Amino acid sequence: MTQSIRHRGPDDEGFFVDAASGAGQHGAASLFLGHRRLAIFDRSGGAAQPMTEASGRYTLAWNGAIYNYPELLAELGSEAPRGCRSDTVALLHLWARYGPEVLARLNGMFALALWDARERTLYLARDRFGKKPLFYALGDDGELIFGSEIKALLTTAAVSRRVDAEALCEFLATRDIDHHPDRTLLSGVRQVPPGSLLRVRARRGLGAGLETTESRYYHLNPPELPLRPLSPLLVDETRALLTDALRLRLRGDVTVGGSLSGGLDSSVLTALAVQAQPTDYRVFISEFPGQAAAGDETAWADQVVTALQLPTDRVTRSAPSSADFLADLEAVLWHQEEPFADTSVVAHYALMRQVSRTGVRVLLTGQGGDEVMGGYGSYYYALLGSLLRRGRLWALGKEVVSRTRLHADAPLRLLMGAGYHALPQGLRQRAYAQRVAAEFPLSKEGQRLWQAAPARFALGLPAFCAGAPERWSAFDGYLLSAMARHALPHILRQDDRNSMAFGVESRAPYLDHRLLQLMLSTDPLARIGDGFTKRLLRQVAQGLLPEPVRLRVDKRGFFSPQVQWLLDAEELTREVLARPPTELAELADKKLLRQQVDAFYTQKNPQLAPVVWTALSVGLWLSRTLPRLGGVTTS
């Protein structure tokens, strides 16, 4: 199991066995822990894992980083081990004092396994937003098998590779993945949901097997009213908190750098990081020459590099070609473990390879900025809908005019979006169900499963929102639901697997939970308004960035030349789809799929690229990746 994920921890490995039988008041339980170490804090052997504290009661194996561990250690006073510089030691001793309550006090990302030998109880926990993965399955003999990646579970014959047809059908229809917090594409493999704790112990008495109890430790409290308007004080407070989140994430005994796309989120972080580390902060840019019209953002990133006067030797560029795409694709699928939405994930993998080659071990990213600060166009529609619902027609009209003047959207689309978001929740859900159609040619069986699938965006607050629903605004309810159920699961899985494939730890300052709590205390018009998304962040960025970058309104995701790459992958695509794997053949309308693939390659129709990509990625995953998961090489 540990060999299969050695890329996540190339620095060391360790094992722990507690095979006591009949010990403890709760009956028999045996535990086997294995760990691969990526040494970031205290690279000495004193921080090796699994780690057992002095009394022998608690043993910890985990993956991630606790950024505020020095402050937490200070609370232990004389109880803190002498000379401790490790977040592992801090986490273990803090658990010994506070138990599971310590999880709510951590500022970081983690997936942990904590063994209580006295109680014969295992705790599995995952960070608030699911930055670090944690999978588990029940084996044939009732044992619980868990790990940071699915492939670790599949090294054991006890875990099946049987595909969940309904989950696969949802991916074919929408290209969404991980939007069910505890589900995967394999029917027997589940995830510990973000912000949750799973307690496992042996059942007492005659009944064999394990007893598992899931609970949520992260609760996001509703904001106090009245909500805060945009003001110089709020801008200063936001900048100070973002700077502190960055300060914590610059910690480590390794070289730190950051990715720069030229978008607002990564540009602000780069500017603040260069202020904090003016002489040794490295920047990484993904570029595609000649693709500016299609979405390449290199020109924007170069404006930031010039404005910050970054020397050329501190800027590293990644420019993957079609040949690189074809060479990397199967390795990326092996690391991602499930198919993914588009080819940008392969471009991101190439960028992480460049990061690793420079010796940088920690990379700061802008992930989460759009979700926390309000960066998506759909959030603007939600804002307009809230204004319409409250009868604030003058404010609604003002926003439509402002947004239109910036050429950021069309008036009719804005008004239609406002009308949709002003509907009562039940009507909105029905309207959404009516307009959502499968984007992939499904067979009759595929259509049946797709129609039976739960709604992609279940309306209502996500599980981590505490308090009565009426205490949350409809705007924030939509933002939090979209963030928790759709956006973050996709981007965090991509980011974690690609960075860890090369032993690089990726950190996201925008996902500091304190920043989200602050944003929710503000009036939506402070975050989105006057024609702009991320209005508050743009105020924070004043004086940090070139004005064209600070005020740009085009929203682009991480870019890759998907159409060209797929056109150059025609031979591979036709080879994979000549005899599609059984699961794909049963869910796809094979005749229509063949027609659309032919049309893409003969007519070069870019609108068909998503269908071709979905078929290729799923076909490759089923036929080549899934059988190899559980192995220890990516060939």
Q: Indicate the burial class of 54 (C-beta count within 10 angstroms; 0-12, 13-18, 19 or more).
A: exposed
Whether pTM exceeds 0.85:
yes
- Report which secondary-structure segment, H or E, holds 147: strand 144-147
Q: Are residues 145 and 46 in the same domain?
A: yes
- Report which secondary-structure segment, H or E, holds 616: helix 609-620
At residue 594, the pLDDT reads 97
Non-local CB neighbours of 421 within 8 Å, separated by 6+ positions: 381, 382, 384, 385, 386, 388, 389, 428, 474, 478
Does residue 9 sit within a domain? yes
Q: Are residues 600 and 494 in the same domain?
A: no
At residue 202, the pLDDT reads 83
Q: How far is CA 394 from CA 137, 384, 389, 390, 578, in A?
A: 55, 11, 13, 11, 58
The residue that leads in pLDDT, 558 or 456, is: 558
At residue 459, the pLDDT reads 63
Does residue 556 sit within a domain? no
Q: What range defines the domain where residue 516 resides?
A: 232-372+487-550
State the CATH number of the domain containing residue 328. 3.40.50.620
- Report which secondary-structure segment, H or E, holds 548: helix 547-550
Distance CA 629, CA 166 (A): 21
Q: Are residues 30 and 173 in the same domain?
A: yes
Q: Are residues 237 and 253 in the same domain?
A: yes
Does residue 561 sit within a domain? no
Q: Are residues 135 and 202 in the same domain?
A: yes
Q: Are residues 311 and 419 in the same domain?
A: no
Counting Cα atoms < 13 Å in the Cβ hemisphere of 352 gives 26
At residue 634, the pLDDT reads 43
Non-local CB neighbours of 274 within 8 Å, separated by 6+ positions: 281, 308, 310
Structure confidence at residue 139 as a pLDDT band (50, 70, 90)? confident
Counting Cα atoms < 13 Å in the Cβ hemisphere of 422 gives 16
Strand 135-138 and strand 121-126: the pairing is: unpaired
**Averaged pLDDT for residues 516-528:** 97
- The pLDDT tens digits of the residues spanning 317-338 come to 999 999 999 999 999 999 999 9
Residue at which a domain ends, from 216, 242, 268: 216
- Report which secondary-structure segment, H or E, holds 276: helix 264-276
Strand 315-318 and strand 282-286: the pairing is: parallel
Distance CA 356, CA 338 (A): 23
- The pLDDT tens digits of the residues spanning 430-462 come to 777 666 677 899 999 999 998 887 665 556 788
Q: Above 90 in pLDDT, residue 406?
A: yes
The three-state secondary structure class of 136 is strand
Query: Which two three-digit tokens encode residue 596?
Result: 């659309």
At residue 25, the pLDDT reads 43
The three-state secondary structure class of 197 is strand
Q: Above 60 in pLDDT, residue 593?
A: yes
Q: Above 80 in pLDDT, residue 219?
A: yes
Query: Which two three-digit tokens encode residue 253?
Result: 């005994």
Query: Which two three-digit tokens encode residue 363?
Result: 């990379």
Q: Are residues 463 and 498 in the same domain?
A: no
Residue at which a domain ends, from 485, 507, 532: 485
| Sheet with 190-191, side-by-side order of all strands | 144-147, 135-138, 190-191
Q: Which of 13-22, 272-281, 350-359, 442-451 has the lowest mean pLDDT?
A: 13-22
Distance CA 218, CA 197 (A): 9
Q: Which of 321, 314, 263, 310 is nearest to 284 (CA)?
A: 314
* Number of domains the chain is built from: 4
CA 256 from centroid of its chain's CA atoms? 20
Does residue 224 sit within a domain? no
**Averaged pLDDT for residues 464-484:** 91
Nearest-5° angle of CA 549, CA 379, CA 217?
105
Question: What DSSP designation does 442 have?
Answer: B
Q: Are residues 481 and 491 in the same domain?
A: no
Q: Which residues of 276-305 are buried (b: 16+ CB within 10 A; e: fewer)?
A: eeeeebbbbbbbbeeeeeebbbbebbebbb
CB < 8 Å & 24+ apart, contacts of 146-149 = 146/113, 147/1, 147/5, 148/5, 148/8, 148/63, 148/111, 149/4, 149/5, 149/8, 149/337, 149/497
> In angstroms, what is the C-alpha Rg of the chain?
25
Per the prediction, the chain carries an average pLDDT of 92
Distance CA 64, CA 60 (A): 13
Helical spans, DSSP H, in 46-205: 69-76, 87-98, 150-154, 165-174
Q: Are residues 329 and 449 in the same domain?
A: no
Q: Above 90 in pLDDT, residue 476?
A: yes
Q: Above 50 in pLDDT, residue 23?
A: no
Residue at which a domain ends, from 185, 216, 247: 216
CA 204 from centroid of its chain's CA atoms? 38
Does residue 76 sit within a domain? yes
Q: Are residues 423 and 326 in the same domain?
A: no
State the CATH number of the domain containing residue 19. 3.60.20.10
Q: Are residues 244 and 345 in the same domain?
A: yes
Matching residue, tokens 């909105």: 428
**Averaged pLDDT for residues 483-500:** 93
Matching residue, tokens 């105020």: 539
Does residue 635 sit within a domain? no
Matching residue, tokens 């978008």: 263
Distance CA 211, CA 426 (A): 37
Does residue 633 sit within a domain? no
Asked if 89 and 83 touch (Cβ cutoff 8 Å), the reply is no
- Report which secondary-structure segment, H or E, holds 498: helix 488-500
Q: Above 90 in pLDDT, residue 408?
A: yes
Matching residue, tokens 């009759």: 444
Does residue 518 sit within a domain? yes
- The pLDDT tens digits of the residues spanning 496-509 come to 999 999 999 999 99
Question: What DSSP letter does each residue of 64-98 carry, written as one string?
Answer: EEETTHHHHHHHHGGGSPTT---HHHHHHHHHHHH
Q: Are residues 167 and 105 in the same domain?
A: yes
